[in-house]
Amino acid sequence: MGHQGSASGSLLLDLDGLGVVSAEVVGGEWQLAVQTTATVVGCGNCGVRATPHGRRLVRVRDLPIGGRPVVLWWRKRLWRCREPACRVRTWTERVAGIAPRVVLTQRARAEACRRVGKDAHAVGAVARDLGVGWATIMRAVADHGTPLVEDPTRLDGVAALGLDETSFLKATRMAPTRYVTGLVDLEQGRLLDVVADRTRAAVAGWLGARPQGWLARVATVALDPWRGYASALVAPLGHVRVVVDHFHAVRLANTVVDQVRRRTQQATLGHRGRKRDPLYRIRKLLLTAGEQLTGRDGRGCELAWRLVIPAVRWPRPGRARSCCGPSTERSAFRRAAPPWTASTAGLMASRSPSCPGWLAPCGPGRPRSWPGMPQAAAPTGPPRPSTC
């Protein structure tokens, strides 16, 4: 379908100095024929009125209309100066919205930069929407994004600073994994800068380039529990309050909880977790946030910790079974599980992985300990480590 150009079409295009001559849909794309609206043009050198010298067809892509890509066919005029004493002979016209020798209008290039930088869209996705190549979008991002990055006021108003490393390039046969350190404004949720490597020198160099007034306004710094980042803050940001970010705090707590579960599994059953073991079945529930647990999940976790688990021989290091002789049937005595709190988890994690007093090493014929009897000696080495 198609129609001839009109004043309303030119207003809809909204490119200064250009009017729509015709429009049609070809292959799912809008094909707009446009030309400049000026009829009288003077020579830029001598000011004499120029005469037409022909036209040249230029193809440029613009922002989509109604979800369809737009192609502008600009019927570009060539002008000629008739003044014999003028050094200029011919030239082609220009408009502010379309730079020379480009395939995208200026507003399309600015929109591509905004989508890639602010909206975090993939470069390939933006290139498909505009009907151009990946390199064209990256050039637009570099041209329009560089002034924004170099703006000195971009880093103003930072009161809470966040630091964390990110894997930038995966390891190859020739080079190790490359990391970068990202610095963000935690209050406004914006990325401030990315520096190469995840070392103390990299962070200290970035902070050293900031003015003293900017450093004085920073009150809180959130980082992961790595000593290199904390050491980099001593000199430039010695007055700030340093905290561990939420993700790493939860991750460390979950690690402690999982270590306690694995050690309890080894202490009670003497083997790694199996799908029918109560503690193995609740391994994911123990790491789930409390607000996401149902009443049934909470009762299941508590029951698993209090459930009577048949006692078996304590394994010696490097062996799946004890060398004390053939197994014998015995009674199992379980102590009541303490209330599950963060302090309890930390206390259990800090204890050495030795055999509990109510599950002493077995001897041939009958068990060697009951409740009330002195605790038997623990095995000479720690139990075999568990991975599940």
pLDDT of residue 107: 93
DSSP 8-state assignment for residue 42: B
Amino acid identity for residue 165 in this structure? E
Question: Across the chain, what does the average pLDDT equal?
Answer: 77
Residue 217 has pLDDT above 90, yes or no: yes
* Cα gap 132→154, rounded to integer Å: 30
The SS3 call for residue 75 is: strand
Closest by alpha carbon to 213, among 165, 159, 257?
A: 159
* Cα gap 97→77, rounded to integer Å: 16
Give pLDDT tens digits for 80-127: 998 999 999 999 998 888 998 899 999 999 999 999 988 989 999 999
Residue 376 has pLDDT above 80, yes or no: no
* Cα gap 384→348, rounded to integer Å: 18
Identify the architecture of domain 155-244 in CATH. Answer: 2-Layer Sandwich (3.30)
∠ at Cα 236 (235, 239), nearest 5°? Answer: 90
- Domain borders along the chain are 2-146, 155-244, 250-310+332-350
DSSP 8-state assignment for residue 238: T
Task: Give the pTM.
Answer: 0.57
Residue 300 has pLDDT above 90, yes or no: no
